[in-house]
Amino acid sequence: MTVMAKPEHTKARTVVSAPALSPDTTQKPDLISVEQAKAMDVARMTDLFKAHLNPGQLHFMKLLGFHKIKIERAEGMFYIDQNGRKILDFFGGFGSLAFGHNHPRILEARRKFQEEKRQEIAIAFMSQYAAALAHNIAKCSPGELDMVFLGSSGSEAMEAAVKLAERAAGPKRPKVVYAENSFHGKTKGVLAITDGQLYRADFKVAENVVRIPFADIEAVERAFRTDPEIGVIVLETIQGGGGIIQAPAEYWQKLRALCDQYGVLWVADEVQCGYGRSGRFYAFEHYGVIPDVTALAKSLGGGKAAVGAMIARREIYMKAYGTPKTAMIHAMATFGGMGEACVTSIEALNVLYDEGLIDNAAVTGDYLLQRLQALREKYPKMIKDVRGKGLMVGLEFHDFSQTLPMVLRPVVSVLDDKLKGSLSGFVGALLLRDYDVLVAFTEYNRNVIRLEPPLICQREHVDRFIEALDRLLSRGIVSIVKDFVKSQVR
């Protein structure tokens, strides 16, 4: 038997000195003010980017010449740099700038919200602004897509979409089908259905996924028929990161029929191709079909706020979260449905229709494709393909060896994989340097230049872009390479 000695009691107390309560207790660090940030020069920006943001990314910015530019302001279709140079924006923030930069109606809505000191975060109470935005999104959505979850990004919207669909499918059908070359976000959950080794790296991702080729309806049917655990299929209606890749109308119509036949829920990722960019509010509307769940983001925030949304059929939503016991499983997060962000989105949706921007995307997009097809015919040794819908367009260049004289092709072709993306990179860099035009690129097919200008884009902007591209390509491949190399040594 062990006897524990009882500690002696003492009246003595341990006294801890509290810090003196004075204004000097918490010292303010060496912080940069708003005005100092505004006045910062390119050299200082570069130092801070390297020290605190992403040193590796700076390498690519230098290759493209982006590191030399400080944007002072932006308006409409243009960025304006530190020298007053107007840069035509055919990048559009990967589809985030449907209204161009700083649309006056959207700015005014935000100004009024701030001046009236309206509530911003309304987690405890219902928000009239979140309710109104959800109503508006439902009104813009076809069929029974009327239940809305509000978040802050495309990744968050897709996380919500996949979770909802998986839960509605039930525990006996946990598997999710996704497509090759898909991009659904970089957050941990949707990383499992984002088909890029660069992003997946060595992260441990969910294993309840099935990968199939994009636009292959036989592969879809085979997967559904042979694996009864499949409950969800997730697809971009137009693959953005894959190089602006589309599937024919019959694919989507057969997909809808197969999902109904096998009881599989279809999640359509419209984060990049939605919100009018294709010439319809949703790209899937071109094909006369409606998914069970979809997602929006990018321009949903009017170019001034970070807003994403999942939209689902009420039946699906209620099956997943329709009772008091399940309602809070995936309720809005702190910054979902923030007041000013919702007001921004409400005004933006009204502008989208009031200014006819969806129809403009269809008409101006057709014109852009026509002008690019003419350039393809003019430069067949450089331009391999032109494709897209509305103002979501891909311009694909040949592998580098195919642009060279026949005698050099066999020698250089062994380097094509390492050189992939070089020509599109050269063209993008020189368009910016010599012609004040900004374009983007795609994640998986690096030979593709991605064109997603704001939906306010007019024929005159297309003409300026095409003229610049024509003049650049007319230099010939050798001169383009030489000019790019010179830009790197200056």
CB 193 within 8 A of CB 208: no
Helix (H, G, I), strand (E, B) or coil at 228: coil
Residue 332 confidence (pLDDT): 85
Residue 334 confidence (pLDDT): 87
Q: Does some domain include residue 200?
A: yes
Q: Does some domain include residue 191?
A: yes
Say how many domains are in the chain: 1
Which residues, 6+ apart, have CB-to-CB distance to 377 below 8 Å?
none
CB 440 within 8 A of CB 450: yes
Phi then psi for 396, rounded to 5 degrees? -100, 130
pLDDT averaged over consecutive 10-residue blocks of the chain (490 residues)? 50 62 79 95 94 90 87 97 96 97 98 93 87 98 97 97 98 98 96 94 95 98 98 98 97 98 98 98 98 98 97 97 92 90 98 98 98 98 96 92 61 55 89 96 92 98 98 92 75
Q: Does some domain include residue 220?
A: yes
Whether the CA torsion 388, 394, 400, 404 is positive or negative: it is positive
Q: Does some domain include residue 246?
A: yes
Phi then psi for 344, rounded to 5 degrees? -60, -45
Q: What is the CATH number of the domain that holds 123?
A: 3.40.640.10
Q: Does some domain include residue 241?
A: yes
Question: Length of the chain in residues, anyone?
Answer: 490
Predicted model pTM: 0.91
CB 455 within 8 A of CB 75: no
Q: Does some domain include residue 28?
A: no
Residue 399 confidence (pLDDT): 80
Structure tokens at 388: 């897209």
Longest pairwise C-alpha distance within the chain: 98
Domain with 133, as residue range(s), is 104-355
Residue 410 confidence (pLDDT): 56
Q: Does some domain include residue 378?
A: no
Residue 377 confidence (pLDDT): 98
Q: Does some domain include residue 192?
A: yes
